[in-house]
Amino acid sequence: MDTNTIIAIVAVVVVLAALVVAGYFWDRSRKRSQAAAAQPKTQESAEAPKSADGKLETVPAAQSVSAAEAEPEAESGAKPEQPEPAPQPASKPKSPESPESVGSRLTRLKAKLAKSANPFGKALFSILTKDNLSESDWEDVEDTLLLADVGAEASEQLVDELRSDARVTGEKDPAAVREMLRGKLLDLVGRDTDRRLNVDKPGAAKPSVIMMVGVNGTGKTTTAGKLARLFVADGKSVVMGAADTFRAAAADQLETWGARVNVPVVRSDKDGADPASVAFDAAARAKETDADVLIIDTAGRLQNKANLMDELGKIRRVTEKSLPVNEVLLVLDATTGQNGMAQAKVFAEVIGITGIVLSKLDGSARGGIVIAVQKELGVPVKLVGLGEGPDDLAPFDPEGFVDGILA
């Protein structure tokens, strides 16, 4: 072989070797770049969820609240404890629920209210249509009213009116007696009473502040949640304040209600934090965001615990450093009957109440408490709770209620 042939063979070998090495590196770098392309995608979905069109999804309102809590409030005399960041629940609804519309809710709940009311009117009616009413019949009328929790004063008033009404003793047409009884019961319940929430009245303050008060377990938190849904369905913007700081679970409960309809909840994660400070922060948040309504949930308390009753006054005073409290709703459990009256009186004296929410009327056979509580306190029943469902809260409707009594 001459030198030229050897050089040619060596050159071919070198070129082939170079091609093999280049191929190997090209393959490795291609695999690396594929892996790199896959990596950021998984990180991105963990940190910031994107919707189908690639836009960032809104953080559910309840999760974003801790920012508001953390904001220091210069004018505040009572500062909240700095809460730890709230643990993020594993899964939260991505889009808020839309609460039942006010119209459809009213039709559904009217039927429910009629069913729930104790038909003591029916018993009265059957006595009143007797031929000759004896003294013991009149006693039966009064007993029927007392058993239905109408209260002594209102029962006596009704019996007196019925006895002195010539139509009752003279009228033999049952339809006419029924109509007369219906009218008397409606008068007693208060047909023309203004039962609007103050926030719904013309010229209402913005934000309007509603405080929920009552003894333990009456339904304050549930009612706050249901009320928020009512306002959202009505197009109002709402903020809630979890001023029940006895248990973190109480704030969680309110937050769950808030998250479902995208209503922010201001809370402290520390058990035993000052509830007045949380209320103050919630008021600041409602003011900042120009909300229509602020609902402040408070812890249940027995009316005979003076220190706890004083605390309610403090919550109110501290809130009023930035926003006036327009409404104090006393939540009364309808199933507690006359016991509820004693509670109601003390709450009315200590904090002043502007309306009553009669909860659990669905489970009560003593709807007469509506009449008794209004008469004793001179404060209207504005709302009734008719079940545990999220939309089972309705404005109190006297006609539907009396028709239920007479059904």
Ligand X SMILES: Nc1nc2c(ncn2[C@@H]2O[C@H](COP(=O)(O)OP(=O)(O)OP(=O)(O)O)[C@@H](O)[C@H]2O)c(=O)[nH]1
Q: What share of the chain is helix, strand, coil (3-state, %, to 5)?
A: 55, 10, 35
User: Footprint of ligand X on residues 276-305 (CB under 6 A)?
Assistant: 299-300
State the nearest-atom distance from the C-beta of 302 to Mg ion, in Å: 14
Distance between CA atoms of 361 and 340, rounded to whole angstroms? 13
State the nearest-atom distance from the C-beta of 175 to ligand X, in Å: 34
Cα–chain center distance at 18: 75
Size of the site for ligand X (CB under 6 A): 22
Residue closer to ligand X by CB (options 238, 299) is: 299
Residue closer to ligand X by CB (options 190, 217) is: 217
User: Footprint of ligand X on residues 373-392 (CB under 6 A)?
Assistant: 385-388, 392
State the nearest-atom distance from the C-beta of 172 to Mg ion, in Å: 53
State the nearest-atom distance from the C-beta of 335 to ligand X, in Å: 9
Distance between CA atoms of 388 and 367, rounded to whole angstroms? 18
Token readout for 23 is 């191929």
- Which of left, alpha, beta for 54 (phi over 0: left; psi -120 to 50: alpha)? left
State the nearest-atom distance from the C-beta of 301 to ligand X, in Å: 8
Centre a 10 Å sphere on the Cβ of residue 48 and count the other Cβ atoms it contains. 10
State the nearest-atom distance from the C-beta of 357 to Mg ion, in Å: 13
250: contact with ligand X by CB under 6 A: yes
Distance between CA atoms of 119 and 111, rounded to whole angstroms? 14
β-pairing verdict for 265-266 and 355-359: unpaired
Size of the site for Mg ion (CB under 5 A): 2
3-state SS of 372-397 is: HHHHHHCCCEEEEECCCCCCCEEECC
387 contact choice in ligand X, Mg ion, none (CB below 5 to 8 Å, kind-dependent): ligand X
Is 298 assigned to a binding site? Answer: yes
- Could you tell me which stretch among 102-110, 142-150, 269-277, 357-365 binds ligand X (CB under 6 A)? 357-365
Distance between CA atoms of 303 and 332, rounded to whole angstroms? 12
Distance between CA atoms of 12 and 295, rounded to whole angstroms? 86
Task: Say which residues have a Cβ less than 8 Å from residue 382's Cβ, sequence separation at least 6.
Answer: 195, 196, 197, 329, 355, 356, 357, 395, 396
Is 218 assigned to a binding site? Answer: yes
State the nearest-atom distance from the C-beta of 276 to Mg ion, in Å: 17
Residue closer to ligand X by CB (options 62, 181) is: 62
- Could you tell me which stretch among 46-54, 165-173, 229-237, 359-367 binds ligand X (CB under 6 A)? 359-367
241: contact with ligand X by CB under 6 A: no
400: contact with ligand X by CB under 6 A: no
Is 355 assigned to a binding site? Answer: no
Closest by Cα among 297, 381, 304, 310 to 346: 304
Distance between CA atoms of 301 and 88, rounded to whole angstroms? 30
User: Footprint of Mg ion on residues 183-222 (CB under 5 A)?
Assistant: 220-221
Is 170 assigned to a binding site? Answer: no
Residue closer to ligand X by CB (options 359, 374) is: 359
Closest by Cα among 278, 202, 269, 207 to 238: 207
271: contact with ligand X by CB under 6 A: no
State the nearest-atom distance from the C-beta of 226 to Mg ion, in Å: 13
Q: How far is CA 286 from CA 27, 31, 69, 349, in A?
A: 60, 54, 12, 28
User: Footprint of ligand X on residues 185-224 (CB under 6 A)?
Assistant: 214, 216-222
359: contact with ligand X by CB under 6 A: yes
Q: How far is CA 235 from CA 75, 195, 238, 287, 378, in A?
A: 31, 20, 9, 18, 31
Binding site as annotated, residues for GTP: 214-221, 297-301, 359-362
For binding to ligand X (CB under 6 A), which residues are involved?
214, 216-222, 244, 250, 299-300, 331, 359-360, 362-363, 385-388, 392
Binding site as annotated, residues: 214-221, 297-301, 359-362
For binding to Mg ion (CB under 5 A), which residues are involved?
220-221
